[in-house]
Amino acid sequence: MAHIPDYRLPGTMVRRLMRKHCVTIRSLSQKYNVTMKRVRQVRADGARGFAASEWHYMITGSWLDGSSVQA
């Protein structure tokens, strides 16, 4: 089984990335079909593990490990 890195994305970093990339709570909610409550929760508490990598991708468009997906 592949090893999953223990990524950490603190709430302060989530807020900073959202500001830097001009991403709003509502836009994340609508684009990725998550509730606004969940977006606010991640902004406050952060995320760990693969979820941290997913949230980083949702905000910035790039994965934490540096790989990118060509559409």
Closest CA to 44 of 7, 8, 6, 13: 13
Give the confidence band of 65 by pLDDT, cuts at 50, 70, 90. Answer: confident
Model confidence pLDDT, tens digit, residues 5-21: 688 999 999 999 999 99
Closest CA to 21 of 62, 68, 60: 60
Model confidence pLDDT, tens digit, residues 16-48: 999 999 999 999 999 999 999 999 999 999 999
pTM (2 decimals)? 0.83
